[in-house]
Chains A and B, each alone.
Chain A
């Protein structure tokens, strides 16, 4: 985790030193470039702090929920839309099979949007060259299931339970490809469980992963 904090701190510090070092020649364009780096890294740092604070709130069970009627299919489509740039950059193909007959439930829209975002974002990040992601929904009498299937790097059996723990990251030695510090899936689990649901994963290294989220129509929030 320290790596994620130390890099933006070093960058902001270095940009400040370069800007104030009179022996380094600067043009208006280079000053603008360094100021933009400071702003961007500050934003990145603020996001990291926010994540850690959110983890503390999760840990204490103090997360706030605003319950309203939510259209799950609409949320899925909105999240895909918001990830459009990442999808294009990765050359990913996302298909949806939104077959749930009943797809409306009382829940916190923002948190549901966030967990769907986290699961699609992970599928994009932990992928091979061309991510193929399939999002499906189906419903039964009790609730709605949302499945996120990818053809990514997969997760070893021994890591499959641990990935939902706060700050857990699958060990990769010193190979550092995906930034983050292991909060996304613990957040997903906490939000789903607050909605009286559950989340599980099936995965095979080198083949891909499927995350399954089940949300009952009647939950403790309502």
Chain B
């Protein structure tokens, strides 16, 4: 899930050394991240299963469950969440195993904090889908500003909720193409449960209502797939 402008990037941090874990948590929190610290691999995986995170930073040598196993299990649940190993294991074969287990980056201890931050930001940039940085969209006669949650039509402004803006942005990024229902649910609601699916339908109805003034703009249901924001070219 990509963080919205209002949300902090949430990091799952697994580190068994008490002092290092505490310092890393304080440091990353001070740098604007929201951090959940777990002191063993089992707790880290349990936290991942129950919570919502944007990034995982995992030690490898830990009690109960090692970082490689945690990463492997996380990848079964979520193929896209970025995983960074932060570990004392610096042998070539460890690094290769780390990437084979689904890591996006591998940092060895002792590390430099500036490098750690740069690598976190680099990984987070890579994980954003194409067009994700774009904040303004032209939808037929409508102008949509994602950052200010504003939808404008001929001088008339509609203030959107965060979720409405998130969903409309995803539709815009995929305009004239199918936006996969499950992808949108996981990206905005974090899971594709039945309840969330019905909730998304309500948001689609609301967006259709906002966009009804321009006959060249439509949100079309694609049965069994998802939705398409269709913008007829003039």
Contacts and interface: CB of A to CB of B under 8 A. Distances in A.
Contact of B23 (A3, A15, A174): A15
A3 B110 contact: no
A11 interface: yes
Contact of A37 (B19, B62, B64): B19
A10 B30 contact: no
Given A3-B89, A6-B88, A25 B30 contact: yes
Interface residues of A, number: 26
Contacts of A32: none
B27 A10 contact: no
Contacts of A6: 88, 108-110
Contacts of A37: 19, 22-23
A32 to B, nearest CB: 13
Contact of B113 (A17, A40, A175): A17
Nearest to A7: B17
A176 B16 contact: yes
B24 A7 contact: no
A14 B20 contact: yes
Given A24-B27, A25-B30, A10 B61 contact: no
Interface string A8-32: 0111011101100101110000100
B131 interface: no
Interface in B97-121: 108-113
A26 to B, nearest CB: 9
A40 B19 contact: yes
Interface string B29-73: 011000000000000000000000000000011111111110000
Which of B31, B109, B113 has the most CB atoms of chain A within a 10 A radius of its CB? B109
B232 interface: no
B135 interface: no
Q: Which of the four size classes fits the interface of chain B?
A: 20 to 34
B8 to A, nearest CB: 16
Contacts of A25: 30
A7 B88 contact: yes
Contacts of A17: 27, 112-113
A9 B19 contact: no
Contacts of A181: none
Contact of A14 (B27, B62, B64, B90): B27
B88 A2 contact: yes
B201 interface: no
A164 to B, nearest CB: 24
Interface in A16-73: 17-18, 21, 23-25, 30, 34, 37, 40-41
A142 interface: no
A131 B53 CA distance: 38
A177 interface: yes
A34 B26 CA distance: 10
A175 B109 contact: no
A192 B20 CA distance: 37
B191 to A, nearest CB: 30
Contacts of B19: 11, 15, 37, 40-41
B89 to A, nearest CB: 7
Contacts of B90: 2
A176 B62 contact: yes
B65 to A, nearest CB: 7
A171 interface: no
A23 B30 contact: yes
A74 B6 CA distance: 66
Contacts of B63: 175-177
Interface in A170-197: 173-177
Given A11-B19, A14-B23, A174-B66, 7 more contacts: A2-B90, A18-B26, A23-B30, A174-B61, A175-B65, A176-B61, A176-B66
The 3 closest A-B pairs by CB, nearest first: A174-B66, A176-B61, A6-B88
21 contacts: A3-B61, A3-B88, A7-B17, A9-B109, A10-B110, A13-B110, A14-B20, A14-B24, A17-B27, A17-B113, A18-B23, A18-B27, A18-B30, A34-B23, A37-B19, A173-B66, A175-B66, A176-B16, A176-B62, A176-B63, A176-B66
